[in-house]
Structure 1
Amino acid sequence: MKPPLLELTQASKHYQRDGTQVQALQDFDLSLTQGELVGLLGPNGSGKSTLVKVLTGLCGADQGQLRWRAGAVLKAGQAGPHLREFGVLLEGRSGAYERLTPLENARYFCGLREARFDTGHFQHLARALGLRDVHSPVRQLSTGNKLRAALIATLIHRPALVLLDEPTLGLDLEGVEQLQALAQSCQEAGQTLLISSHDLHLIERLCPRIVCISQGHKRFDGPREAFTQVPHPYRLRLRHSQPQPELPPWLTGREWQIEGNELSLPLLNPEEATRLMALWADWLGRSTELQLLRISLREHYLQHLQTSRVATDPSQEHP
């Protein structure tokens, strides 16, 4: 087992907002190893951005410790030389200086970290992200290309740890695909990436490990497969004006979920759907819509959020 690259333990942070104390993080632990690709999920105000700021020393913590590469233990939120090995994109905003070109920004951010600027690496990043204009001031670029310039500035010094907060904001579909391919390439090169995003499709495709945060608490930390594990991962969904058919004996214990004229039935696998289609051929022929769906990360995520809200505030539990 690889030793941790970064260890954050028992980190807590609160703010005062309009005279009210807001607990942004509470006893939060996080361990990252080299070469991991981790997705960070949570609703707005859950503490994701606060966590990134505590990791990068932009925000001091009320309590907690941080250790980098098994070195000295630091207070959580404390700045130090380890930050030279970080690459950070904050809250989907362009971290590039508007008056400088993407090339000048890359040189500048390399200098800040006392890293050697590699022209070949810069050209590789620009090609990978589809940024063709590297000589115009960033202020003249489109929103998507401003973000591409910021991503290059984040990655130019080959950081050991890459923290990306909403890295797809402003990117078109091609840009998201390019970012995904580049993130996988960085992981294969041994870099560690923590990606905070509301783009659940990106997280589902890209990240083998999921960390879910809600109201400052860690609600889940583990393999994507464990996060999405349910007894019946498929759903047969159809629309029909006739009463639903009787379920065969081998589906004992399953129940139709009915909403208006839409029927939904949980299934184990596509083979069960094939058996039902053969059994109900005539009835299904009168249906107006038929779909076999695999339960998505989005549905699991929403279920986790509902569970965490009930755990925090039992009054939200439905009767």
Structure 2
Amino acid sequence: MLELHDLTKRYGDRLALDSVSFTVGDGRLTGFVGGNGAGKTTAMRIVLGVLATDSGTVTIDGAAVTATDRRRFGYMPEERGLYPKMRVLEQTVYLARLHGWAPVAARRNAAELLERLGLGERLDDTVESLSLGNQQRAQIAAALVHRPEVLVLDEPFSGLDPMAVETVQSVLSDAAAQGAPVLFSSHQLDVVERLCDDLVIIADGRIRAAGSREALRAEHGSERWELLTTGDAGWVRGVPGVDVVSFDGGWALFEASTESARHAVLAEAVSRGDVVSFGREQTTLAQIFREVVR
């Protein structure tokens, strides 16, 4: 378990991190979201030891993170960090060797990982000859090739097309399934929502919300309800205590002033015998994000 405890970081008069604390659980994918300048990259660099914190600590399994621990981390910076004139396979093998892998094992693992990431036909190409999307895949391979015990990825989905996003999602999910805490930042809230077990939302250097998707939806969820019927749902507008927000044929989105009003809608729908679904409106991460950073 990777834990950040009360991290504070200043750049001159600007407070970049203000007592930032959250946990990345073993085997869990944690999405780290926030606007530009919110503090995501600063927090990640402190975790990796690239930056020093003014106060606060980073621990793994309850003990302060050491340089030896960090050798078992995988890190992907937002900036391009590969040698542009090295060949893709050669560079990935080299990085595995730096982490202590034997030559044969390093080459085998690098080739398998690159193949899985869709770079199997580009192994002998130089990094600079790749498209930006393929350079991103190569950078992800560089972070994963030594099979790290902790993964910290800054905008890993940037520049990827939808098919590549699916591929990278699968690779990261497998890393988490093997027990690695995985922390990644992204501006693509739909990807974060689909992939993550846990979410951390940061704004102005402060954590605004953190927890599982289910917990955040329960805490910040909509008070609106959806009804879908096989007939015309226009009758919902006549139920006392109900305010219809939107309506289209057999579908109605409404607010109920009391629980009994909501139950009245469901009872009437059941009596008409045409209920397809009924439930609370599904709150998206984008909606929660707007609410907590407002």
When normalised by structure 2's length, the TM-score is 0.80
Distance across 1 between alignment mates of 2:226 and 2:204: 31
Cα contact 2:26–2:179 (8 A) shared by 1: yes
Give the direction of change, closer, same or farther, for the CA distance of 1:35–1:246 in structure 2 (3 Å limit): closer
| Residue 6 (structure 2) aligns with | 10
Aligned positions of 1:249-268 closer than 5 A: 249=240, 252=241, 254-257=242-245, 265-266=254-255
Within the candidate set 30, 53, 56, 1:61 is matched to 53
Give the direction of change, closer, same or farther, for the CA distance of 1:120–1:304 in structure 2 (3 Å limit): same
Cα contact 1:211–1:222 (8 A) shared by 2: yes
Counting aligned pairs with the same residue, the percent is 29
Gap runs ≥5 in structure 1: 238-242, 280-291, 307-319
Aligned length in residues = 267
Q: Alpha carbon RMSD of aligned pairs, Å?
A: 3.0
- The yes-or-no answer on 1:190 pairing with 2:191 is no
Aligned positions of 1:296-311 closer than 5 A: 296-306=284-294
Give the direction of change, closer, same or farther, for the CA distance of 1:235–1:297 in structure 2 (3 Å limit): farther
Give the direction of change, closer, same or farther, for the CA distance of 1:202–1:120 in structure 2 (3 Å limit): same
Cα contact 2:89–2:111 (8 A) shared by 1: no
Structure 1 runs of 4+ aligned residues shifted over 6 Å read none
Gap runs ≥5 in structure 2: 229-233, 247-251, 257-261, 274-279
| Residue 98 (structure 1) aligns with | 84
Distance across 2 between alignment mates of 1:144 and 1:214: 28
Give the direction of change, closer, same or farther, for the CA distance of 1:130–1:234 in structure 2 (3 Å limit): farther
- What is the letter of the counterpart of residue 46 of structure 1? A
Superposition deviation, residue 137 in structure 1: 0.6
Cα contact 1:96–1:102 (8 A) shared by 2: no
Give the direction of change, closer, same or farther, for the CA distance of 1:247–1:24 in structure 2 (3 Å limit): farther
Structure with bigger RCO (C-alpha 8 Å, 6+ apart) = 2
When normalised by structure 1's length, the TM-score is 0.74
Give the direction of change, closer, same or farther, for the CA distance of 1:294–1:68 in structure 2 (3 Å limit): closer
Give the direction of change, closer, same or farther, for the CA distance of 1:191–1:125 in structure 2 (3 Å limit): same
Distance across 2 between alignment mates of 1:265 and 1:118: 58
- What is the letter of the counterpart of residue 128 of structure 1? R
Cα contact 1:236–1:266 (8 A) shared by 2: no
- The yes-or-no answer on 1:113 pairing with 2:113 is no
